Structure 1
Amino acid sequence: MTYVRSWLLLVLGLIAGAAHCQPATFGSEWQFARYLADKEATDEALFVLQAFDKNTLTVPQRDSLAYLRGWLTYSAKSLDEAGEQLLAVSPASPFYLKAHYFGAYCLAFQNQRDSARAVMNRLPAPDSTLRELRAFEQAGLALLQRQYGRYDTLRQQFTYSSYALSAEETRLDAHRRALLAQKRRSPALAGLMSAVVPGSGKWYAGKARQGIASFLPVLMLGLLTWEGYRKDGPTSLRFLGFGSLFTVFYVGNVWGSTLAVKVRRDEFNRVYDNKILFDMHIPLRNLLNR
């Protein structure tokens, strides 16, 4: 299999070299790359496309090249390169709308939400479906940035009747409600609670098992420390050893409780960010990936 693949790459190298020397063959070589892409030979298709010298190409040819490279790297989940290539497609290209929508999505996925919003704001919306799609994608970005007022303004353009958008519009509304209903737990309060009753701060943070796991060793070490003090006195090795361990576990329990609140909050936000991004992606596939 490796032998066959090596021969295939050699043949592609010869073809790509010919494309580099003969710009007039761009159309046939680009079609060949598309054929490879359709056969899911992504690496081979990219190998062909990378051989072209952009300086010898016309603007439409550069747009076609950037679009196909962007789409191939997007399909391969290399979103950094995909976004760069897709957003290089010019407004004169027939691929412009699809390329820039997916390019903006790449930026949103990489947490570059302001840049994604700027791209979305520039996109044309010549009909009602595209206007609703643009409002939907911008509303998704607003939720990712927790800008609820902006989301409420944008959702006024939702019709909840489009086959490609209605289910996702309803889910975005549900995500908004869930985000607003999130309990605002205080890291400082969690630390204070664990200082009074070890483990209770983690219980408060929603980590009940971790709370129990913190409480038991602190309690045990506390009892052993007290026993060492009562029987052997404050200068005994027994008291000092168990006292040192108790202090370490007690302080760790307090600090861990404050972190538990932050971790739980980050987990919650990450789950909903992924849900929002997933729902933003579906209409793009339904409406633009044709």
Structure 2
Amino acid sequence: FPVKAEKFREFPVKAEKFSPLVESKKNSKPKTLGQGHVGVEGRTTISRVEEQKSKHKSDTKGYKYAPRPLPEQPKREGESKISKKRDKWSTFDADQALADLENEDKPADPGWSVKKEPGLATIESVGYEKSKEEVALDHDLASGMQRMKIMLRNRLAGAQQSKEKGNNHVKNKKWQEALECYEDGSSQLGLAKTASPLMSASLQERVKKLNIALMNNTALCHLKLGQFKDSIAAAEEVLQVDSKNYKALCRKGASLTRVGKKEEARKVLQLALKLAPAKATAKKLLDEI
């Protein structure tokens, strides 16, 4: 599309019309820029800042920065208490704690005391402080004593039942069956007799009475069965414990008479009559000699 120059010539532009405008621009001062616009000086400041940043990057190139440590998290109150209790429990000395409890309120200087019971007297230290080894030993002994008491109780109950069964057989004059029951009861009391030093006075007395009853009835069964030597032996066992037992003296005297030892039998029966003159058994046996 060729443009013909001659057409533009129809609108000639006169330079003098624009000359005042150009002159005013030359003479005018730079206007103050509004907020948000950056002039020549602002652009210069920005370029300096970026230049410093790039220089800083080049200076710090090659350095590695360690990660910033995280602030220590505070422990919860419950967790700290549990950990403290766990630490205390791991270092807890149970034996020493028992020893401290045992020695609580004891004086510095121990004394002595005498304890009296029927047929038994003991001297013990008062206020003696025990070591943890002694306390542990006492604990073991106490546990052993508890087990022994249970066993003795069971043995005593079994011996008592055997005695009652034997008595029922005696009523029916079943001497052999009765003898077996009495001997079974005596065997159950064997441990109780050996452990008597460890028993209380009341328990010792109970064992003693039951043993006397069993052996007296054993002597009677042997006498009825014609086993006179065994009857004498059973009666003498009773007399070793109770030298004035009336039944044992009578049964021993009767058995001595059967084996021909009449003089010895007379002495035994006279002692029985002296102990219980109102009873007729000893007098009747003396009349038979």
Report the TM-score when normalising by structure 2.
Answer: 0.36
Higher strand proportion? 2
Higher-Rg member (1/2): 2
Higher helix proportion? 1
Report the TM-score when normalising by structure 1.
Answer: 0.36
